[in-house]
Amino acid sequence: MTVESVHLTSARVIVLGTAQDGGIPQAGCECEACRGGRDDPAVARRPSCLGLVDDGGGRWLIDATPQFGSQLADLNRAAAHPEAGAPDGIFLTHAHVGHYTGLVNLGPEVMSSPGVPLWVMPRMAAFLEANQPWASLVRERHVVLHQMTPGVLVQLGKHLSVRPIQVPHRDEFSETVAFVVQGPSRRVLWLPDIDRWPGDWADWLSDVDVAWLDGTFYDDRELPGRDLANIPHPRISDHLEEYGRLTREASVEIRLIHLNHSNPVACPGTREAELVAAVGVGVAEEGELFDL
C-alpha cells in the first residue's frame, strides 16, 4: 500500500511489511494466497519490517528486507520526506534472508549510501564482516556497524529509544533479537521470529502497549511435504487462547506478523482469521501507524 505523508507530533512507528521472508506472493508458489497476491496487489504482503520516525523527521528501519526499496519509500513518505534517501539507521533482528539481504541496496550498484548506521548483535556483526557482499559494504563504509547488548537501550533521540531482547531461534549464522521501541509515553514490541515462547515470555508484554508477534504458521497442516519440526515457530492455534487472555488481562494489543504464504490467517475472511479476531487478536496490515 502507499503511505501518505503525516504531520508528526511525537515519535511513531509504521508497519511496512507483515509476511514471512519470502513475502506474499512467494516465488514459485501457486497457492490461493499467492495467486491472490499476484492478481490483486492490494492483498499482497511484503516481508516483515517496522519503520520508526521521530518528531524531528529521523527515520529508522527494523530489518532490511528483499523489498527494501518500496519500504524505504513508504518510510520516507510517512516522515514527510519523500526524497530523503537512505534511512538514518537500520536495526537487524538476525541473519535469515528476509531480514538483512535488502542491505545490498546501500552499495555502489544502487544507492551508494555513505555511512548508514547499522545496529547488530556481535555474531551478526561477525557474519557481515566475514561474508560478501556484506563485507564490502562494511569495508567501504556504506554501513557502519554498532554492536548491541541485550537489554541495553540504544538512544536515537530525546524521545525515542530501542532495546534489543535476545530470543531463541534457529541461530545458524547470528543471534536473534526482538526490539522494544520506547517513545515519550508509550512503547511497543516488535518480534517477528522466535522458535518457542520461553516461560517468562508474557513478562515481555506486561509493559508494552502493542506487541507485534511471530504468527508464521497457524497450525501443523501447512506446507505438506515439509518437516515443520525444522521450522519451530509458535503455532497460532496452540497459543490463541493465551493471546486472547493476555490481550484482556495485560491490556496489550497483540497483532500477528511474519505470516507465511501458507497461513490462512493471511487471507481475510477465512475461518482461521475469524477465530483470531474472535479472541481479540489482530492480524497486522501494512501502513499501521502507532504514536509513541
CATH number at residue 188: 3.60.15.10
Pairing between β-strand 177-182 and β-strand 187-191 as defined by DSSP bridges: antiparallel
Collapsing DSSP states into helix, strand and coil, what is residue 274? Answer: helix
Alpha helices in the chain (DSSP H): 32-39, 68-78, 97-100, 122-130, 134-139, 201-204, 236-249, 271-278
Is the pLDDT at 267 greater than 50? The verdict is: yes
Q: Is residue 291 part of a domain?
A: no
CB half-sphere exposure, 186, CA atoms < 13 A:
15
Q: What is the pLDDT of residues 119-166, one digit of tens each?
A: 999 999 999 999 999 999 999 999 999 999 999 999 998 889 999 999
Give the chain's domain count. Answer: 1
Q: Is residue 185 part of a domain?
A: yes
pLDDT for the residue 5: 45
Domain residues for the domain of 57 are 12-286
Q: What is the pLDDT of residues 175-222, one digit of tens each?
A: 999 999 999 999 999 999 999 998 888 899 989 999 999 999 999 888
Q: What are phi and psi of 237, to 5 degrees?
A: -60, -30
pLDDT for the residue 9: 53
Q: Is residue 197 part of a domain?
A: yes
Set of cell numbers at residue 150 = 541485550
Q: Is residue 105 part of a domain?
A: yes
Q: Is residue 145 part of a domain?
A: yes
Q: Is residue 4 part of a domain?
A: no
Q: Is residue 292 part of a domain?
A: no
User: Rounded to an integer, what distance in angstroms lies between the CA atom of residue 52 and that of residue 57?
Assistant: 10
Q: Is residue 7 part of a domain?
A: no
